[in-house]
Amino acid sequence: MSSKTVTLGKIEKRLREFEKKYNMISSEFQKKYHSGELLKRYPPEAEEWHGDFLEWAGEYRSYKRIHPMMTLVTILN
């Protein structure tokens, strides 16, 4: 198993954890995060979610970059 596969697996696992914790799929989170809609549900003074959302956004961004490449590698092999 390549290190890219392990990294992708870790990212997918982390995304599933956030999705379960916040009851929202990552693509929906991403849209709401960037539109500011999440601030209606999670006010700034409730800091416990802030770190999660930053990490979730970063993990999702990484997933969107790595996943297509891994799919192409799988197809070509």
46-64 pLDDT, tens digit per residue, is 677 888 999 999 999 999 9
Q: What is the pLDDT of residues 5-55, one digit of tens each?
A: 558 889 999 999 999 999 999 999 999 999 989 888 877 776 778 889 999
Region label for 21, one of left (φ > 0), alpha (ψ between -120 and 50) or beta (otherwise): alpha
Residue 6 is predicted with a pLDDT of 56
pTM beyond 0.85, yes or no? no
Among the listed residues 1, 26, 11, the one whose alpha carbon sits nearest the alpha carbon of residue 67: 11
